[in-house]
Chain A
């Protein structure tokens, strides 16, 4: 039968954003693929060359609207490396909790968007309902629902409000039960299992060589996680362990393993949150005013020429990395160059190639299981 190219996207329910997947098909079988990106390239790296180190934070929030807090945190860590800023421990705890709340919210958004891909519309409404709890908590910290602009060089913008800890505990405990509900819904759904099991295999070594990281690689049976391999923040002081899934085939993890590992990761985030809120230095029912040395230390605002800063960060979709060079315009007030490593930018071309050999109907399942986000991909 003659082969032909089909263009899926840029407007397609499978794409979760604006990008194009060109698929070469032979009947129903995918024989070749090509990813095309760049539809929403905003030039963030160029814009950042004329913004000072605090002004860059909102731009990094907007890299990924589903996971704003982790991206801002990753950037701030690179800026702190460049500016040699110390961070008070209380601020590190607050950042950790904010990042883990964001991780849960991001995974919920992923699950909610993944469900309709597979044919389970209930999931969207359930996940958005629960995500609201975490957005409310984050809103109390940052003041807005999606783009918080919350971390600062040397700390955080403001302290946790009075009563936030109680609301956090109640919501996290409720959500731990809700995860069980999700699993009861999904793991006993024939449609869910049939469409996810046995498609989209990817081994750990292949994925790492191709630059695929994060939950996708932990689904293939290794517990490598930047939070312990390249430690940052106070992850060594709170109770958690990396989520891992046992793959069922020598061919590596399938879509079902990637779903399982994200569910487990949400549980681990809950565990971390409950532990961190009890250990936070200064107590969880105190409130320090903005700029207090408990939550933000003094940091220089200019970086000399030749200084560089990097951060390696476990973002919700994989390892994100920032690289900042000092000595830009305004006598070092702006960075000379800021570079962003987006996990999804590297992952999407790899995922496009893993689809070869499967059916056209498997494309949404495979693509969705890797959790694509186009905002961070195109930058």
Chain B
């Protein structure tokens, strides 16, 4: 039988982190709660909602106190029709895994059922809403997790959210000579046949016209 983390271990670890986060940051208006996945094993994860100027403190706490050692994914979203408080949002996904360096010729074989405390694997989702405007930015966590480095580069490149304190920011997926201010995942950029169902609305393609027809490319 393949071993696995039990539901109790998961719930205990998540509620411990939620409790200490609320104790530490609850006064500052940061919310932390345990949310369950809605399919599969329905395990819990921690969801934190904080403001951009609080993110750095939360990240430092997670890194040093909760032993969160993996920055998995940083994503930005553009809400042009959103509220003033949430015109943009950064979603950060973090993990905690029991990983330590080993001595030569040895290995660490964890037994899932014996893990406890800060060794229990954990999944964390952080939402950072940013005020609407032309220059969204949040602090960088490049120095805490090296893995955040290229994630932040990608988020700036594609969505246009800037990371204060990020060293060596440059284009990673778009061409290096893309126009300044061009970030394709912002919602004002439409892909050519957006809202147009090629397959059903116009099967032979006679009426097909790109939305940017007539404009200089």
Contact = CB atoms under 8 A, between A and B. Distances in A.
A244 B5 CA distance: 18
B191 A321 contact: no
A92 to B, nearest CB: 9
Contacts of A1: none
B77 A222 contact: no
- Most chain A beta carbons < 10 A, residue from B37, B93, B121, B189: B37
Contact of B91 (A86, A208, A236, A339): A339
B38 A84 contact: yes
A38 B77 contact: no
Interface stretch (A127-135, A156-164, A189-197, A342-350): A342-350
Interface string A207-235: 01111110001001111100111111101
- Most chain A beta carbons < 10 A, residue from B2, B97, B102, B147: B2
A86 B99 CA distance: 32
Interface stretch (A10-18, A246-254, A288-296, A357-365): A246-254
B102 A221 contact: yes
A46 B110 CA distance: 40
B147 A81 contact: no
Interface stretch (B22-30, B131-139, B171-179, B201-209): B171-179
B2 A221 contact: no
Contacts of B112: 228-229
Contacts of A235: 2, 4
Contact of A336 (B77, B104, B184): B77
A339 B185 CA distance: 10
Interface residues of B, number: 61
B194 interface: yes
Contacts, number: 196
Contacts of B123: 230, 310, 312
Nearest to A329: B195
Interface string B93-110: 101011111111111111
A236 B1 contact: yes
Given A87-B39, A204-B100, A341 B93 contact: yes
Given A50-B194, A220-B102, A252-B101, A38 B38 contact: no
Nearest to A323: B75
Contact of B175 (A38, A227, A246, A272): A38
Contacts of A208: 69-70, 97, 99, 147
Contacts of A245: 107
B18 interface: no
Given A43-B184, A321-B93, A228 B3 contact: yes
Contacts of A244: 107, 109
A82 to B, nearest CB: 8
A205 interface: yes
Interface in A78-105: 80-87
A41 B154 CA distance: 12
- Most chain B beta carbons < 10 A, residue from A82, A210, A239: A210
Interface string A122-146: 0000000000000000000000000
- Most chain A beta carbons < 10 A, residue from B1, B77, B184: B1
A129 B60 CA distance: 50
Contacts of A222: 98-100, 102, 107-108, 110
A337 interface: yes
Contacts of A81: 37-40
Contacts of A217: 99
- Most chain B beta carbons < 10 A, residue from A38, A86, A241: A38
B146 A238 contact: no
Interface in A95-122: none
Interface in A14-32: none
A237 B99 contact: no
A354 B90 CA distance: 30
Nearest to B199: A55
A170 interface: no
A209 B110 contact: no
B185 A223 contact: no
Contacts of B175: 38
B43 interface: yes
Contact of A46 (B43, B99, B146, B185): B185
18 contacts: A49-B191, A84-B39, A87-B39, A211-B147, A217-B99, A222-B99, A230-B95, A244-B107, A246-B106, A247-B105, A247-B107, A248-B105, A272-B2, A308-B91, A308-B125, A312-B95, A323-B91, A350-B146
Interface of A: 37-38, 41, 43, 45-47, 49-50, 77, 80-87, 203-205, 208-213, 217, 220-224, 227-233, 235-241, 244-250, 252, 272, 308-310, 312, 319, 321, 323, 325, 329, 336-337, 339, 341, 345-346, 349-350, 378-379
Q: Which 10 A-B pairs have the closest CB atoms?
A: A211-B147, A229-B121, A221-B102, A341-B73, A339-B75, A80-B39, A221-B107, A236-B4, A210-B146, A38-B173
Interface of B: 1-5, 37-41, 43, 45, 69-73, 75, 77, 91, 93, 95, 97-110, 112, 121, 123, 125, 145-151, 154, 158, 171-175, 184-185, 189, 191, 193-195
Given A209-B147, A211-B72, A221-B107, 14 more contacts: A38-B171, A47-B191, A80-B38, A85-B39, A205-B69, A205-B99, A221-B106, A230-B123, A241-B3, A246-B107, A309-B38, A310-B37, A336-B77, A337-B77
